[in-house]
A and B are shown apart, each in its own frame.
Chain A
Amino acid sequence: MFETLTERLEAVFKKLKGQGRITEENVKDALRQIRLSLLEADVNYKVVKSFIASVQEKAIGQEVLTSITPGQLIVKIVHDELVELLGTTHTQLTLSGSPPFPVLLVGLQGSGKTTTIAKLAYMLKRGNKHRPYLVPADVYRPAAIDQLVTLAKQINVPCYPSEQSDNPVDICKKAVQEALRSGCDVVLIDTAGRLQVDEPLMEELQKIKEAVHPSDILLVVDAMTGQEAVKVAEAFHERLDLGGVILTKLDGDARGGAALSIKAVIGRPIKYVGVGEKIEDLEAFHPDRMASRILGMGDILTLVEKAQETFDQKQVEKFEKKLKKNAFTLEDFRDQLQQIRKMGSLESILSMIPGMQKMKGNPALQPDEKELIKVEAIINSMTRKERLNHAIINGSRRKRIARGSGTTVQDVNNLLKRYVQAKKMMKRFSKMGKRKSFGRGDFPFPM
């Protein structure tokens, strides 16, 4: 996320670190680099201008702070400014008034509204114990209704049976009543993608708004959007008075300048970000963390939160007991792997770890999802007895396991070696005896 911007700023600061103090000349040099990288990151031209101006003002005004190194000073100034630009805290979905709360998702074609709505429903259902209701109101794109219906089934959430021949405004009105009848409290409406200059379709959105009085209206924006982002956001905001923004496709290498520009121009918060293809790959947008991320400080907090959400407490306790008795079996090993995979793609997990941004270019460090699948297959090919006691796995058993999992005996050997190592490590932990519980942020697995 924002990798290239991070790299550039780091390069600038590396240059600065060599110098004893900031002169007006090297501030200028750094600012030029920051301006260039922000422009290349698709941050809006005007936003860049005002951003640079305020950083410059602060950088030159703080010459007194010679106690810390100039590099750090500029990092701090740029960081603070970014945080200010992005907002200061995370803003939740607005659900006010009496249920059901209609929520409208709008945006250009292909920004990812339909996928996002399913992710949002899943998040509401899982986290806040809401009962979401999905409404396909895109009657124009072929099979758009099918798409939402299919996703609704996957996450087991009710969905309004729209027909392509229906009027979108009617669909929304009826759907809200239907949601109320079936006891749902959040009505997520998927509207058709439209250009902000498409008069009839923009009017349709206004009619939908008047008909259902949404509790929140979210603009879905592709993180790869260019200078256009500002115009799109302004036009939708003017018509609908948006409540916030969801930024999608942030798992690519888009520098995401759109995030900075939109917040600066319409003054509405970015509430969530889409970070992958899996249904759970929607995250709360944390402006402060995002700023850290831009500056290459990683995003360890999101990772911790994710781990807490994924590892259920009972399993952790069970695991802990086993650890104390040093009875960590291959079966537990497999469970741990499955838990990790539940947290999302390895790539997205790794990108949250500080310093990993820089490693991205290195092919040797590319996370290989297939490797995990392989390990799981090997363990699955063992008998229960073998899983509980690895010592009985002799040569012929190894051959059988390799055949069964479509791997080689070497793969099986490797896995067993790693397992024994992990076990030894845990033995050491349990001998220390001090680790009474796995609290917040401790990972009950060897990483």
Chain B
Amino acid sequence: MTEEKKGFFKRLRSGLSRSREQLNEKLETVFIGRKEIDEETLEELEEVLITSDIGFETTQTLIDSVRKRVKRKDIDNIDQLKAAIKAEMRDILRHCEGRLPFDDLPIAPYVIFFIGVNGVGKTTTIGKLAMRLKNDGRKVVLAAADTFRAAATPQLVLWGERAGVEVITHQEGSDPSAVVYDAIQSAQHRLAEFVLVDTAGRLHTKKNLMEELKKMCRVADKVMPGAPHEKLLVLDATNGQNAISQTKMFHEAIGLTGLVMTKLDSTAKGGILLQIADQFHLPVYLIGVGEKPEDLQDFSAEDFADAML
């Protein structure tokens, strides 16, 4: 257990290390050659935070809170300043620490929808999660409900083959709700524990596609009352402020139950997560830090904040 945990920290850190290095590097350049913390230091700190996609308002909140403490002489050197910001970030992020109830499923099959705009990595996330669950000896069914994009179904089928789990497919262009229906039914018959539903990428501004998503939820509820049990929005760490609009509109449309953040192995810092945590109080369940199946990790506020600074 401890060894496994160590492994997890290491992987998360190596995945996030690029973000950390970059931010640290910037902070060092800000702080080098300066003993006292003055307004200029804080202004430069503002730049560092904004270029990390943390967003203007959250940046202001963070800076205002340390500014007060600088005035009171609670903080008088750079290390303390860093520690203070890190602690603030951690406090914000703690709201959104969450675990999916994998070890103690309230109901089976547990139906999870993966939702998001185009190209955020929904299919890859499902593939990685399927492999992880399968390795733990769990029974999983995948639903290829992206019937719109060319070759989306073969992509999921290949992941299914890799993981050794069943994939329910329909023809391209068919009704995605029908795939959901079949997948849940099939999972019920086979006594599977999980149904992971891959939905088509859709921009949150498309009214008709949001309606399609609502219908998929209704159909799931019809075949299995209470389903889907999770509606997870997948966010791309390289996205900027638009991630807020995505979260807001998907949440309004279908009521999200949690978030997944992918591509944290890029140089993007995923700073937008602070703002989203602040505004929506949605749990972040998983983060993607690489292309390998083990690069899908549980989210930890402590580690995330530590790795950022």
Binding site for B on A (CB under 8 A): 36, 39-42, 44-45, 108-112, 115, 141-144, 146-151, 154, 195-197, 222, 224-229, 231-232, 249, 251-255, 257-258, 277, 347, 366, 368-370
Contacts and interface: CB of A to CB of B under 8 A. Distances in A.
Contact of B56 (A39, A195, A366): A39
B208 A226 contact: no
B265 A195 contact: yes
Contacts of B56: 36, 39-40
Nearest to B123: A142
B154 interface: yes
Contact of A147 (B150, B208, B238): B150
A227 B203 contact: no
B119 interface: yes
A226 B154 contact: no
Contact of A347 (B155, B157, B206, B265): B206
A258 B236 CA distance: 15
B155 A112 contact: no
Contact of B242 (A143, A253, A277, A369): A253
Contacts of A111: 119
B61 interface: no
Contacts, number: 132
Contact of B241 (A44, A149, A249, A255): A255
A225 B119 contact: no
B263 interface: yes
Contact of B118 (A112, A147, A150, A232): A112
A196 B238 CA distance: 12
27 contacts: A39-B50, A40-B56, A40-B241, A42-B53, A44-B51, A45-B47, A45-B50, A109-B119, A110-B121, A142-B154, A142-B158, A144-B151, A151-B150, A195-B267, A197-B18, A224-B117, A225-B240, A226-B241, A227-B52, A228-B238, A228-B266, A249-B203, A253-B205, A255-B242, A258-B240, A347-B205, A347-B206
A252 B183 CA distance: 30
Nearest to B200: A277
A174 B36 CA distance: 63
B203 A196 contact: no
Given A110-B236, A226-B241, A252-B203, 6 more contacts: A44-B51, A110-B119, A154-B150, A252-B204, A366-B207, A369-B208
Interface string B43-65: 00001001111011000000000
B149 interface: yes
Nearest to A226: B240
Contacts of A195: 265-267
Interface string B109-151: 0000000011111000001000000000000000000001111
Contact of A252 (B148, B205, B207): B205
B121 A143 contact: no
A146 B123 CA distance: 15
A51 to B, nearest CB: 15
Nearest to B52: A227
B274 to A, nearest CB: 13
A282 B195 CA distance: 36
Given A110-B121, A150-B150, A196-B267, A225 B47 contact: no
A108 B238 contact: yes
B272 interface: yes
Contact of B240 (A151, A249, A257): A257
Contacts of A143: 151-152, 154-155, 157-158
Interface string B250-291: 000000000000010111100010000000000000000000
Nearest to A251: B203
B245 interface: yes
Given A42-B242, A347-B206, A110 B118 contact: yes
Contacts of A254: 242
B151 A224 contact: no
B239 interface: yes
Contacts of B157: 143
A44 B51 CA distance: 7
Interface string B84-124: 00000000000000000000000000000000011111000
A227 B50 contact: yes
A42 B241 contact: yes
Contacts of B158: 142-143
Contacts of B265: 195
Contacts of B239: 222, 224-226
A228 B267 CA distance: 7
Interface in B217-246: 236, 238-243, 245-246
A142 to B, nearest CB: 4
Contacts of A227: 50-53, 240, 268
Contact of B238 (A36, A150, A226): A226
B159 interface: yes
A112 B121 CA distance: 12
B121 A251 contact: no
B26 to A, nearest CB: 11
Contact of A249 (B53, B118, B238, B272): B118
Nearest to A35: B56
Contacts of B149: 115, 147
A42 B208 CA distance: 27
Contacts of B268: 226-228
Contacts of A255: 241-242
A111 B268 CA distance: 14
Contacts of B154: 142-143, 146
B159 A252 contact: no
Contact of A228 (B53, B118, B119, B120): B53
Given A110-B120, A228-B267, A251 B205 contact: yes
A137 B119 CA distance: 18
B150 A222 contact: no
B57 to A, nearest CB: 9
Nearest to A369: B208
A109 B50 contact: no
* Shortest Cβ-Cβ A-B pairs, 8 listed: A226-B240, A110-B119, A147-B151, A42-B240, A143-B155, A142-B158, A146-B151, A150-B150
Given A143-B155, A150-B151, A195-B266, A112 B119 contact: yes
